[in-house]
Amino acid sequence: MMAKDQATMDVTLTMDTAQPRRLDQMVQGVLGGAMARPEGPLKVRGAATYAAEHAVADLAEGVLVRATITKGKVKAIDEAAALKLPGVIAVLTGGPLLRNPAQGQASEAPEQVLPEVHYFGQPIAVVVADSFENARHAAQTLRVTYTEAKAEVDPETASTVERPKKSQIETGDFDAGFQAGAHQIDALYHTEPHTSAAMEPHASIARWDQGRLELWGSYQMLKHNVAELADAMGLPESKVRIHAPYVGGGFGGKLGIAPEAVAAAHAAREIGRPVRVVMARQQVFDMTLRRTETAQRLRLACDATGKITALAHEDRVSNLPGESYSEPVAQGTHFLYGGADRRFTHEVARVHRPAAGSVRAPGEAVGMIALECAVDELAEAAGIDPVELRLRNLPKTAPKGDLPFSENALGRCLKEGAARFGWDKRGTTASRRDGDWWVGLGVAAAVRTNVLEESIARVTLEPDGSATVATDMTDIGTGTYAILSQIAAEMLGLRPDQVTVKLGDSDLPKSSGSGGSFGAQSCGSAVFLACQGLRAALAKRLGTTEEELTLKDGTATSGNRRVPLADVLDSGLSATGHIKPGDTEDDFAIAGYGAHFAEVRVHAFTGEVRVARMLGIFSIGRVLNRLTAESQCHGGMIWGIGSALSEELQHDRRDGRIVNHDLAGYHVPCHLDVPQLDAVLLEDTRDDQANPIQAKGIGELGISGAAAAIGNAIFNACGVRVRDFPATPDKIFPHLPFDDWG
């Protein structure tokens, strides 16, 4: 339903200057509140359909086969024997099969290297049969022979180490500055590798229809995924459509097209029948992207007043040869602490472990564990309270590039958080004991860089006065369905239940997708702009201006004229909003800020750590939905508990394989590991430079720094400084003060 004035209704904005707070002038009053998710009733009845659950007729089942060597070549696969097994339709190897998933926003196929093998667990074939059991049996009994080559798997001793130029930064004279400090800290930290482990395993159903590929998948960023899948299959993008209406968690693990999608597409094309491929949980561990382990050396020096004067953050991460991604470990450091003399080095060891990529808050999630624990060590050395030391070091401009901050409420979060948490009750090191448990408090700053991505959305006012939002954006549990209906309802004067949100279909207008905490603000801005276009068109029809027009409860008011919205819509109105990043991201340092506080109990004899209380306080600009935003904070903070205490992928030292590749071996936090949490959002902040809705990301800010608060609380509780995370009991109990054995 194109209106004649379509061209004037579509709105494009490049974010070159601060934008007015138009949403604050709207009167519907539905944005920001604790609105329940509109898709909630489907989810609680099991009626929301995830990737593997779409009803596609005549499905064959594919099961992936993994390599059981680390490096070399597949010599032969005994297909003949497999094909004799009951129900087996095909054994496919080589061709377009992927080595590992695409990195986020790659928009091109990842490496396709078969018959070569580059890591233990790499997919080498897909077996297709008439049933899952038949396919699995054939896959498990498939006879594969290899020629093996030697492979390096240890990042510490790897012979190939790259030092990307842009990440080696020296300002001032670090060595001299460090020596001159009144207090110095020089500490080596390690974090073990992590994995996303979304509860929904990677799954795809592929169907071909006259040369066009339709895929139901569990993916976060459809426009990039279409490009990646098309490239992998040798198709133009116009021949690929992806559906992902519900995604059972992503956390970075579903940013790029993964092996099961290409296996399903390839198999379906070969056998002329739709194919479903679902990764077994172990395969999700083996063949999707992990977060690298890190080794980080932190050197900090401060003057007698606690002001940081010199700072070095040097790290080593790893990845498979051929992957351009490397974890930006020091990213948060650039936003947090000044000091004239600075050094950053970043090394990427090339090893044949499964490929590394983005996992929730790449960079900050691990970089800030080391940084914020080291700052705690510095506070201890200088004899200054750790909250106070951080307050004395609030930079006026961003340390990197000397850019002005767009909005930075770190100081406020530290002070308000400390007051709410009862920080003044924190005792000296190892001074509080409750039975067999040491009790202590810890703090850490939170920061996460904020990014706006190009995004398009279409909003339609239907003839009956209801509205439809359409974009290829996904909701991976983040609340997209809720916040987009709230933004449109606020702008158009409707109840949120009068707004239908259509997501997760690559044929819809192209959005940022979900990733990097940019989804809500990017696609939310596109919806906002489309609504502005609609408001302008309505104003014109009513002979007024957009500024003069009030929309509330389905009624348009201008001056003393009041009209039901449906009366001015005729056949309906449709507008497209298009947001693009612009100069503000170069002119300002834009990031979300916050602070974490934790109270832990450390068992005096076993070293077991329990989190008793945790408070996170965050400043993210405009809060779009208090309920879903707080849930995101909880998620991040709990991931912080996981990375502090239990999560670690363990690689076999001989062949690099992930040994603990299931949920019994890789310990994500469970109910009893997590107390009720306090997540506080500063509601009155706005970031005018970030985007026209003044909102920043929240999904990753909540993890950034969280584990450090726990590490620091462990030190306060029992005096043991853990520098290797996770802080499992074996790293604590040998160092516990045992003078009270009695």
Partner 1 sequence: MQISLNINGEDHKVDVDLRRSLLDVLRHDLALTGTKKGCDHGQCGACTILLDGRRINSCLSLAVMHDGATITTIEGIGTAEDLHPLQRAFVAQDGYQCGYCTPGQIMSALAMLTEAEEGWPSYISESLEAEPDLTDDEIAERMSGNLCRCSAYPRIRQSIAEARAQMRAAK
Q: Which residues are catalytic?
A: 700
The stretch among 193-201, 329-337, 372-380, 651-659 that binds partner 1 (CB under 8 A) is: 193-201
Which of the listed partners (partner 1, ligand FES, none) does 131 bind, with a CB threshold of 5 to 8 Å by partner kind? partner 1
* Min dist. Cβ of residue 259 to partner 1 (A): 18
Judged by CB under 8 A, how many residues of this single chain contact partner 1?
A: 63
Residue 674 found at the interface with partner 1 (CB under 8 A) = yes
**Nearer Cβ to partner 1, position 514 or 619?**
514
Residue 80 found at the interface with partner 1 (CB under 8 A) = no
The stretch among 348-356, 413-421, 474-482, 537-545 that binds partner 1 (CB under 8 A) is: 474-482
Phi, psi of 659 (to 5 degrees): -80, -45
Alpha helices in 162-321 (DSSP H): 174-180, 222-233, 259-271, 281-287
Residue 631 found at the interface with partner 1 (CB under 8 A) = yes
d(CA 143, CA 65): 11
Exposed (0-12), middle (13-18) or buried (19+): which is 230, by Cβ within 10 Å? buried
- Give the count of beta carbons closer than 10 Å to the beta carbon of residue 137: 19
The stretch among 22-30, 120-128, 314-322, 668-676 that binds partner 1 (CB under 8 A) is: 668-676
**Nearer Cβ to ligand FES, position 142 or 476?**
476
- Rounded to whole angstroms, what are the CA distances from 152 to 156, 163, 285, 349? 10, 18, 20, 10
Binding mask 129-148 for partner 1 (x = CB under 8 A): --xxxx--x-----------
Question: Residue 292 has which token pair?
Answer: 């690298």
Residue 608 found at the interface with partner 1 (CB under 8 A) = no
Which of the listed partners (ligand FES, partner 1, none) does 3 bind, with a CB threshold of 5 to 8 Å by partner kind? none
Which of the listed partners (ligand FES, partner 1, none) does 671 bind, with a CB threshold of 5 to 8 Å by partner kind? partner 1
Q: Which member of 4, 7, 25, 46 binds partner 1 (CB under 8 A)?
A: 46
**Nearer Cβ to partner 1, position 284 or 430?**
284
* Min dist. Cβ of residue 128 to ligand FES (A): 23
Phi, psi of 349 (to 5 degrees): -85, 135
Residue 659 found at the interface with partner 1 (CB under 8 A) = no
- Give the count of beta carbons closer than 10 Å to the beta carbon of residue 504: 24
* Min dist. Cβ of residue 163 to ligand FES (A): 39
Residue 56 found at the interface with partner 1 (CB under 8 A) = no
* Min dist. Cβ of residue 378 to partner 1 (A): 31
* Min dist. Cβ of residue 42 to ligand FES (A): 13
Which of the listed partners (partner 1, ligand FES, none) does 628 bind, with a CB threshold of 5 to 8 Å by partner kind? partner 1
Phi, psi of 89 (to 5 degrees): -100, -40
- Rounded to whole angstroms, what are the CA distances from 295 to 187, 190, 192? 11, 5, 9
* Min dist. Cβ of residue 79 to ligand FES (A): 31
Q: Which member of 476, 501, 556, 600 binds partner 1 (CB under 8 A)?
A: 476
Strands 294-302 and 308-319 turn out to be antiparallel
d(CA 154, CA 693): 46
d(CA 220, CA 252): 8
Greatest CA separation for the chain: 87
Residue 672 found at the interface with partner 1 (CB under 8 A) = yes
Q: Which member of 340, 403, 566, 668 binds partner 1 (CB under 8 A)?
A: 668
- Rounded to whole angstroms, what are the CA distances from 643 to 609, 666, 669, 674, 725? 13, 11, 9, 13, 7
Which of the listed partners (ligand FES, partner 1, none) does 627 bind, with a CB threshold of 5 to 8 Å by partner kind? partner 1
Judged by CB under 6 A, how many residues of this single chain contact ligand FES?
A: 3
The stretch among 65-73, 594-602, 636-644, 732-740 that binds partner 1 (CB under 8 A) is: 636-644
d(CA 664, CA 681): 34
168 neighbors 223 (Cβ within 8 angstroms): no
d(CA 163, CA 315): 10
Q: Which member of 249, 399, 465, 692 binds partner 1 (CB under 8 A)?
A: 249
- Contacts of 735 by beta carbon, 8 Å cutoff, 6+ apart: 719, 720
487 neighbors 480 (Cβ within 8 angstroms): no
Which of the listed partners (ligand FES, partner 1, none) does 563 bind, with a CB threshold of 5 to 8 Å by partner kind? none
Hunting for tokens 């990677």 — which residue is that? 202
Residue 219 found at the interface with partner 1 (CB under 8 A) = no
* Min dist. Cβ of residue 51 to ligand FES (A): 14
Residue 676 found at the interface with partner 1 (CB under 8 A) = yes
At residue 10, the 3 state secondary structure works out as coil
Q: Which member of 11, 19, 39, 701 binds partner 1 (CB under 8 A)?
A: 39
Which of the listed partners (ligand FES, partner 1, none) does 161 bind, with a CB threshold of 5 to 8 Å by partner kind? none
Q: Following DSSP, what letter does each residue of 255-275 receive, concatenated? A: SS--HHHHHHHHHHHHHTS-E
Looking at the DSSP assignment, which residues form a beta bridge with residue 220?
none
Q: Which member of 95, 181, 249, 357 binds ligand FES (CB under 6 A)?
A: 249
Exposed (0-12), middle (13-18) or buried (19+): which is 525, by Cβ within 10 Å? buried
d(CA 316, CA 11): 45
Where in 185-214 is the site for ligand FES (CB under 6 A)? 199
Residue 477 found at the interface with ligand FES (CB under 6 A) = yes
**Nearer Cβ to partner 1, position 466 or 625?**
625
**Nearer Cβ to partner 1, position 155 or 616?**
616
Where in 271-310 is the site for partner 1 (CB under 8 A)? 278, 280-281
- Rounded to whole angstroms, what are the CA distances from 607 to 87, 232, 520? 53, 49, 41
**Nearer Cβ to ligand FES, position 362 or 635?**
635
**Nearer Cβ to partner 1, position 666 or 733?**
666
Q: Which of 453, 601, 577, 584 is nearest to 527 (CA)?
A: 577
The stretch among 342-350, 390-398, 569-577, 659-667 that binds partner 1 (CB under 8 A) is: 659-667
End-to-end CA distance of the chain: 82
Q: Which member of 73, 677, 719, 729 binds partner 1 (CB under 8 A)?
A: 677
Instruction: Give me the residue whose beta carbon is nearest to ligand FES.
Output: 199
Residue 252 found at the interface with ligand FES (CB under 6 A) = no
d(CA 680, CA 415): 13
427-431: list long-range contacts, CB under 8 Å, 24+ apart.
427/716, 429/380, 429/715, 429/716, 429/719, 430/716, 430/717, 430/718, 430/719, 430/737
Residue ranges binding partner 1 (CB under 8 A): 36-37, 39-50, 52-53, 55, 131-134, 137, 196-201, 246-251, 278, 280-281, 476-479, 627-628, 630-632, 634-635, 637-639, 662-664, 668-672, 674-677
Residue ranges binding ligand FES (CB under 6 A): 199, 249, 477
